[in-house]
Chains A and B, each alone.
Chain A
């Protein structure tokens, strides 16, 4: 059973960079697409972007200028960096796997990590 676990700071100051890591276990990171999705408190879901195991990326245009994703296949991890954060970036961040067939629905989700942006 594939498991994903987010890690990173729960509090980030405005204008700083948010950095999160997702560790994949119970399955291979290779051959799959991996995504980040965020959910502001009490609100809906927004796709941030995905990274393929080979490093190819596709970001949501709404965040593209501030987002960088990377992958470390040797440690079965992928990461998210979001620069110049504001309180509007306060959200639960989920790391997820795109379906095994490579299509853009999400079949495995991490539990999520709440990141607050506040001074």
Chain B
């Protein structure tokens, strides 16, 4: 199976500062025929289901604030929160959908410093 590895496991950032989460896949997620990366990002707050933030590595889901940005290609991806808000405290997961079985990263816990 394709393995997704996130770093760091946890992260503390001050309000208003930038938060960056990394995701690395064991194989390229770039499909050459359409030049798309099959990578999504989710946010999970305590006691809630995950919420889709980003798909195709960089396309923001409708309603997601523009402070959330996805980037990267191939095997290395990044989720950046440009100016951390209190409501962004959550666990963030990356997920590939290049081919089944779909797998998730282990998660990155984001807290306020």
Q: Which residues of B contact A15 (CB under 8 A)?
A: none
Give chain A's interface residues, CB within 8 Å of chain B.
Answer: 44-47, 50, 58, 60-62, 94, 99, 103-107, 109-112
User: Chain B's nearest CB lies how many Å from the CB of A9?
Assistant: 20
Describe B's contact surface by its main secondary structure. loop
Describe A's contact surface by its main secondary structure. loop
A112 close to B49 (CB less than 8 A): yes
Q: Size band of the B side of the interface?
A: 20 to 34
Question: Could you count the A-B residue pairs with CB atoms below 8 Å apart for me: how many are there?
Answer: 53
Write 29 A-B pairs (CB below 8 A) sorted by A numbering.
Answer: A44-B104, A44-B105, A45-B50, A45-B93, A45-B104, A45-B107, A46-B103, A47-B100, A47-B102, A47-B103, A47-B104, A50-B100, A58-B100, A60-B101, A61-B1, A61-B101, A94-B49, A104-B102, A105-B40, A105-B52, A105-B55, A105-B95, A106-B52, A107-B61, A109-B50, A109-B51, A110-B49, A111-B49, A112-B49
Q: Report if A99-B55 is in contact (Cβ < 8 Å); known contacts: A47-B101, A104-B100, A104-B102.
A: yes
